[in-house]
Amino acid sequence: MTESPYPRVKRHSGLVRLTHWLNAIVLTGMIASGLQIYVAFRHFGTTVTRLPVPNPFDGYVFPKAVRLGGWLAGGLNWHFALAWPLVITGLAYLGFLIVTGQWRELLFRPRDIKPAIEMQLYYLRLRKEHPPQGKHNALQKGAYTFIVALGAISVLSGFAIYKPVQLSWLTTLFGGFEFARYWHFVAVWLFIAFTIVHVAAVLLADRASLPSMITGWYRGKFPSHD
């Protein structure tokens, strides 16, 4: 390996790295067991009326290779067991952001709209110079705020279809049981879309960020983020 011309800087704390990878594993299991559950009733709505919503997977049996649990009961048990580490990891991460004040560097706010557009122009080669930024640029803030919100929506819509009578207020908030189940399913594809963009951005734009999420130390072309 050749000597890197970049300085070595501390990028991610242990808790962020731990929750990141735990979340990646648990979320994979949640999605796989969720797809197992979906194949038991491959539509949205009641038995006879379909919700007026698009579903490219209507009637589709997901292949065994992407399902976890073997059958409906197995899928349910995996899903409801993994929900614990998913929620605990999420709360630990959010608690850490709040206690350390790091949420300020991650929360997308209205003032980030203009720099986000500038950043997008830069990425599209329509703007020459990299816009000034803090630890994360406005587009990253948008992405990280989106994914935390998506996590919250997934968990809440999950509870809405888990206990539609006891938590009926929550189920109503999502438009009733059938819609809550639909939003819970839509969240899966948003997670997968995010992961594709996220991994592509790491590999194509800043490879040094991958080891930094493992060791905590970053040695790459954007050392000044901190």
Partner 1 sequence: MTSLDRRDFLRLGLVAGPASLVAGCGWDGGPFVKSRLATMSRLNDWVGENILQSSTRLARVYPVTARSSAMPGYHISRDVPTLEIETPWALEIGGEVRAPTALTLEMLQQLPRITYTVKHHCVEGWTAVATWSGVAFSAVAALVQPTDRARFVRFDSFDNGYYNGWDMASAMHPQTLLAYGFNDRPLMPDHGAPLRLYSPIKLGYKLTKYLTRVTFTATRPGGYWEDQGYPWLGGI
Q: Which is nearer to partner 1, 97 or 119 (CB)?
A: 119
Told to check if 121 binds partner 1 by CB under 8 A, we report no
Smallest distance, partner 1 to C-beta of residue 20, A: 12
Q: What Cα–Cα distance (Å) separates residue 167 from each residue in 11, 84, 99, 164, 170?
A: 40, 18, 30, 5, 5
Chain positions 167 to 206 lying near partner 1, rule: CB under 8 A, are 167-168, 177-178, 181, 199-200, 203-205
- Residue 146, C-beta contacts closer than 8 angstroms, at least 6 positions apart: 108, 194
Establish if 22 lies at the interface with partner 1 (CB under 8 A).
no
Region from 9-17, 37-45, 137-145, 149-157 binding partner 1, contact rule CB under 8 A: 37-45
Q: Is 66 in the site for partner 1 (CB under 8 A)?
A: yes
The contact pattern for partner 1, residues 86-115, with x = CB under 8 A and - = no contact, is ------------------------------
CA 49: distance to chain centroid?
A: 31
From 166, 189, 197, 215, residue interacting with partner 1 (rule: CB under 8 A)? 166
Burial class (CB in 10 A: 0-12, 13-18, 19+), 79: buried
Shortest Å distance, C-beta 125 to partner 1: 9
Is 124 a binder of partner 1 (CB under 8 A)? Answer: no
* Token digits of residue 53: 């919503």
Encode 117-130: b = buried (16+ Cβ within 10 Å), e = exposed: ebbbebeeeeeeee
Query: What 8-state DSSP symbol labels residue 226?
Result: -
Structural element, H or E, at residue 217: strand 217-218
Kindly state whether residue 211 participates in binding partner 1, applying the rule CB under 8 A: no
Contact residues: partner 1, CB under 8 A: 24-25, 28-29, 31-32, 36-38, 40-41, 43, 45-49, 64-74, 76-78, 80-81, 84, 162-168, 177-178, 181, 199-200, 203-205
